[in-house]
A = this chain, B = another copy of it.
Amino acid sequence: MPARINSGFLQVRHRYLFQEVARRVAAFRASHPDADVIPLGIGDVTQPLAPAVIQAMHRAVDDLSQAESFHGYGPENGYDWLREAIAEGDYRSRGIAVDADEIFVNDGAKSDLGNILDLFAGENIVGIPDPVYPAYVDANLLDSRQVRFIPCTEENHYAGEIPQGWLDIIYLCFPNNPTGAVITREHLSEWVRYAREHDSLILFDSAYETFIRDETYPRSIYEIAGADECAIEFRSFSKTAGFTGVRCGYTVIPKALSVCTSSGQRMGLGPLWEFRQGCKFNGASYVAQRGAAAIYTADGRKQTREITDGYLRTAGIIREGLRSAGLSASGGENAPYVWTRTPEGMDDWEFFDRLLTATGIVVTPGSGFGAEGKGHFRITSFGDPGRTAQAMERLKRFVDGL
């Protein structure tokens, strides 16, 4: 027999959403070399790193220049000084009981959100919100897992109805990508109750928690009692501190968390993940980890907060601009994303193409995030504020002219 392909590849669309957006933008630029393109599509940051982080990274590079301070392979799950800073800074100081050895440092949340699936059998039934970050679905289809979608609509405040049927693994993402929605403590408690009753596992993506300004919303699922027995939390420095190019994030796997073997025996998830990472990962870059640790210094906190405050002000410009164009606007208050309906019920890929051609503005078509995203689009607040304001004026003129 020749070497054979994982048949999961026959089930996925062969172009990842943002690759398709990039392809269309590249084609547009090629045919319109003088066009003034304003990218408000992919959720990538544009502001430079905080000075405290820059200093720490320079020092880390210097460490690598001398044998005495050189660092080779680090611990696969991150240096203790970073794990400790995270546990204290993001959890214990907020009254949430998470220990340093429950923190697993990685090269970004996307890697772990996909790779965590290595731990689970193919026969688990997976519940995935719709619309949502498309990598969740693709990663599960590659493993040929059954996916059930959880519609997240205006009616349920984009937080999903608690399902009637049985789901073994459930993805949740709050603040949400793409809708910018947050989840209330009460609603999240219902999800935790469901998971505990069904012995299912929640994969909680809180990559955008740093944008929560209304403190009545939970920033971590572990603020909900019992979540440490049913949830893994994924965090990223990408949006917290502009690390999209630096690559560092972390995953929280509480010691209380376990899964079942087919014979009903329970095994702790943390040791399984350690084994997986020991086998297929060699730790995040030392320079990135030193930079990440600097986020938790007094200067680092203040400086990164100013950056995210800036993005939220830009989100305000977007919300305002959409409204003045007569469009809806949800999200953007505790999240960097604003979610809106296309004008006149236009197909969202058609809207994407027409908007790009007419104005040079790049948004993300909602159907790229799932069936419930049809007829919507997402705008990100990570662009330059002045350019974003300019884009919103162009968008208003475009919509007015339809």
Chain A residues in the interface with B (C-beta under 8 A):
1-7, 9-10, 12, 14-16, 18-19, 42, 44-49, 51, 54, 57-58, 61-62, 64-67, 70-74, 107-108, 110-111, 113-115, 118-124, 135, 138-139, 142, 166, 168-169, 198-201, 242, 244-247, 259-262, 267, 271-272, 275-276, 278-288, 384
What is the CA–CA distance of A247 and B113 in the complex, to the nearest angstrom? 20
Choose from B47, B110, B281 the contact partner of A111 (Cβ within 8 Å).
B281
What is the CA–CA distance of A242 and B46 in the complex, to the nearest angstrom? 31
Contact A286 B246 (CB under 8 A): yes
Given A245-B71, A246-B285, A287-B285, are A19 and B278 also a contact pair (CB < 8 Å)?
yes
Contact B261 A124 (CB under 8 A): no
Residue numbers in B under 8 Å from A283 (CB-CB): 245, 247
Contact B139 A280 (CB under 8 A): yes
Given A54-B61, A111-B281, A280-B114, are A119 and B6 also a contact pair (CB < 8 Å)?
yes
User: What's the nearest-Cβ distance from chain B to residue A43, in Å?
Assistant: 9
Contact A260 B67 (CB under 8 A): no
User: What's the nearest-Cβ distance from chain B to residue A284, in Å?
Assistant: 7
**Residue of B at shortest CB range from A286?**
B245
What is the CA–CA distance of A352 and B229 in the complex, to the nearest angstrom? 40
Contact A246 B64 (CB under 8 A): yes
Choose from B5, B73, B118, B139 the contact partner of A119 (Cβ within 8 Å).
B5
**Residue of B at shortest CB range from A120?**
B6
Choose from B107, B267, B280 the contact partner of A5 (Cβ within 8 Å).
B267
Residue numbers in B under 8 Å from A275 (CB-CB): 9, 12, 14-16, 138
What is the CA–CA distance of A88 and B48 in the complex, to the nearest angstrom? 32
Residue numbers in B under 8 Å from A276 (CB-CB): 142
Choose from B44, B71, B124 the contact partner of A73 (Cβ within 8 Å).
B44
User: What's the nearest-Cβ distance from chain B to residue A317, in Å?
Assistant: 17
Most buried by B among A66, A169, A278, A286: A278
What is the CA–CA distance of A14 and B122 in the complex, to the nearest angstrom? 21
Contact A107 B200 (CB under 8 A): no
